[in-house]
Amino acid sequence: MERIFIKETPDKIGEKVRVCGWVQTVRTHGKIMFFDLRDKTGIIQVVIIPNKDFFAKAKEIRSEWVVALEGTINQRPQNMVNDKIETGKIEMLAEGLEVFSSAKTLPFPIDGDGYEISEDNRLKYRYLDLRRTRLQKNLVMRHKVFNFIRNFFTNEGFVEVETPILTRSTPEGARDFLVPSRLQAGNFYALPQSPQQFKQLLMVAGLERYFQLPICFRDEDTRGNRQPEFTQLDFEMSFVEREDVMAINEKLLVALVKAVYPKKIIQEIPFPRLTYAEAMGKYQSDKPDLRKDKNNPDLLAFCWVIDFPFFEKTEEGGWTFTHNPFSAPAPEFRDDLLEKRNIPNIIAAQYDIALNGFEVGGGSIRNHQADALEAVFEIMGFSKQRIQENFGHMLEAFKYGAPPHGGTAWGMERLMMILENEPNIREVMAFPKTGDGRDLMLDCPAVIEEARLKELHIKIEVLKEPDKN
């Protein structure tokens, strides 16, 4: 018999059906047994009466065994109706049982929210943790958001392009993860901190409108709510100015909330705008929380922060970029940049999107002319040789006819965390790592065999014993 999903069972009263899933709870009332059977769509109460030939087998079943049950869907007696679940008005009278798998006792309960359970345990047994309704819902909502974004960009004439994972270092303010090359002894790839250079090169290539939902990698120091790998919405457009890119961001965010989170309220549309100086002066933050009612879990207060300084002082007294070295200056500062004067006052054509006190996105109009990009690196004290070695390909590309362009990237986990009112980004990811970058389920990072290292031409000399936890 064909299996149906549990959520379909209320429409099958009087019919015989087959459902499959996990036995969530087993209860006995006198001689009768009750199972709550769970699949990805819901829970159904199954009644098993002793005169059935499979009753003895049914008595062995414990929580989380995986079974198929066949039987007739009946209306529950009025006093047994449970209004809290979708299948609360019906139950199944079992007429057949098939056991697919037994199950050990789970290391923790999965029927609650799970916030109270030690996170190490939850991450070690993530495949069990993910059985809980809250996390399944988070993954489903994440899919709906991603799907909405894909459709939105497709309708707006964007093309989804996947860019490489084995790549060369991009300066985005963090350390790169490195991958040794076996074929090019002594050389390393870097995992992308973002597809920044590729998306700009796609603009030089004439794609005009690109988007992607890429995984990005940043090797940052342990920080509670960061992950070494995370997902962005990344997009780039040609022949645009700052207002055009801001407008499409806003259009997408408003449409997304309306379609996928219709109960949520956006506090102000168009999103209010603050300059960096205003935000810092008024809120001491470049991602201010503008919510008028911080207790309302459905309130979304988006705002733009614009007019960021391009450069900031390094600890050594030089200059570095505040956001993205590929940004253009605001048009009125172009000459200052080219002349390398008035550096602390140069404003970047950068815009950030803040939401309820978090930075959820940022982008800029880029330097599409080689001389301006070169000036940025010169201000940062890079030698001609270093500029050539690291960014020669960008400078070269811009000499073959580069359109003016700009784009944005959103941090998808941060956005999902806020939309789902979760306390951290790990709750909206399938397989997150710990704050110090370990995968407790796969137990990695892990030691690599000597032979594999040899193949990679690598000899390890441990300069510092790693901290043992």
List the x/- string, 152-191, binding to ligand ASP by CB under 6 A.
--------------------x-------------------
For ligand ASP, which is the closer residue by CB, 233 or 290? 233
For ligand ASP, which is the closer residue by CB, 21 or 363? 363
Q: Indicate whether 413 belongs to the interface with ligand ASP (CB under 6 A).
A: no
For ligand ASP, which is the closer residue by CB, 125 or 153? 153
Beta carbon of residue 217, minimum distance to ligand ASP (angstroms, whole number): 11
Q: Indicate whether 362 belongs to the interface with ligand ASP (CB under 6 A).
A: yes
Beta carbon of residue 213, minimum distance to ligand ASP (angstroms, whole number): 13
Q: Which stretch binds ligand ASP (CB under 6 A): 220-228, 292-300, 361-369, 428-436?
A: 361-369
Exactly one of 114, 171, 214, 363 binds ligand ASP (CB under 6 A); which one? Answer: 363
- The CA distance from 156 to 361, in Å, is 20
The DSSP bridge pattern shows strands 188-190 and 159-160 to be: unpaired
Q: Indicate whether 274 belongs to the interface with ligand ASP (CB under 6 A).
A: no
The long-range contacts involving 244-249, CB below 8 angstroms and separated by at least 24 positions, are 244/406, 245/351, 245/363, 245/365, 245/406, 245/407, 245/408, 246/304, 246/351, 248/156, 249/353, 249/361, 249/363, 249/408
For ligand ASP, which is the closer residue by CB, 45 or 324? 324
Exactly one of 138, 194, 197, 367 binds ligand ASP (CB under 6 A); which one? Answer: 194
Exactly one of 197, 200, 238, 408 binds ligand ASP (CB under 6 A); which one? Answer: 408
**Residues whose CB is less than 8 angstroms from the CB of residue 154 and which lie 6 or more positions away in sequence, other chains included:** 160
Q: Is the Cα torsion angle 197, 358, 308, 252 positive or negative in sign?
A: positive
Q: Indicate whether 352 belongs to the interface with ligand ASP (CB under 6 A).
A: no
Residues 239-258 that bind ligand ASP (CB under 6 A): none
Beta carbon of residue 390, minimum distance to ligand ASP (angstroms, whole number): 16
Exactly one of 163, 197, 227, 364 binds ligand ASP (CB under 6 A); which one? Answer: 364
Which tokens sit at 457? 């031409």
Q: Which stretch binds ligand ASP (CB under 6 A): 2-10, 79-87, 252-260, 362-370?
A: 362-370
Length of the chain equals 469
Return residues touching ligand ASP (CB under 6 A).
172, 194, 196, 324, 362-364, 407-409
